[in-house]
Structure formats: structure tokens, C-alpha cells
Amino acid sequence: MIKIVKAEKILQKKSGRPSKLCVEDQILMTLYYLLESPTFFHLGIKWGINESNFYRIVIRTDRALIHSGLFSLPVKNIY
């Protein structure tokens, strides 16, 4: 999973500030969200980031893992 998300980050356009969280934490956040389905507000507080940033990280990581074709994650209507 880590290699897939890191490869996707390399292909992305570099703009803005770098993320406060490492790739491993971003994957962990995404999997925790998919498992527990708490609100982005509460997760943002738990991880120390804004809820909108949490949402963007989850969406980006989720899409990278699904587009790789190696994982079939549960389908949620979070987009």
C-alpha cells in the first residue's frame, strides 16, 4: 500500500504545503475511516489536522488504492 500511495504522490502536481503526516499515517487514517465511519471533525481532532484536510487525504489515498487494482475497498459515498 505504501508503495502505491507514494507512486501516486510522485505523479501529482506539487503545489501548496507538504502534508504534516507521513504516507503511513495517511493510509492508516483512510483505513480507520473506512472501518469505523466516524465524522471528519472528530478524526481531524484526533489526528491534529483540519477536517477538510482529513477529507482530502482520505479521498486521495482511497482513490490511489482503488485505481491500483490490487485492493477492493468498501464502497462508500464520501465523494
- Condensed to tens digits (0 to 9), the pLDDT of residues 2-14 reads 888 888 777 776 7
User: By the 8 A CB rule, do 63 and 34 touch?
Assistant: no
Q: What residue numbers bound the domain in which 75 lies?
A: 36-79
In whole angstroms, give the CA distance from residue 25 to residue 21.
Answer: 6
Assigned C-alpha cell, 75 = 464502497
Confidence of residue 73 (pLDDT cuts 50, 70, 90): low
Confidence of residue 78 (pLDDT cuts 50, 70, 90): low
pLDDT of residue 74: 63
Residue 49 lies in a domain: yes
Residue 13 lies in a domain: no
Residue 76 lies in a domain: yes
Residue 18 lies in a domain: no
- Vertex 21 angle, CA 18 and 22, to 5°: 95
Residue 17 lies in a domain: no
Provide the number of structural domains found in the chain. Answer: 1
Global confidence as pTM: 0.73
Output the average pLDDT for the chain: 81
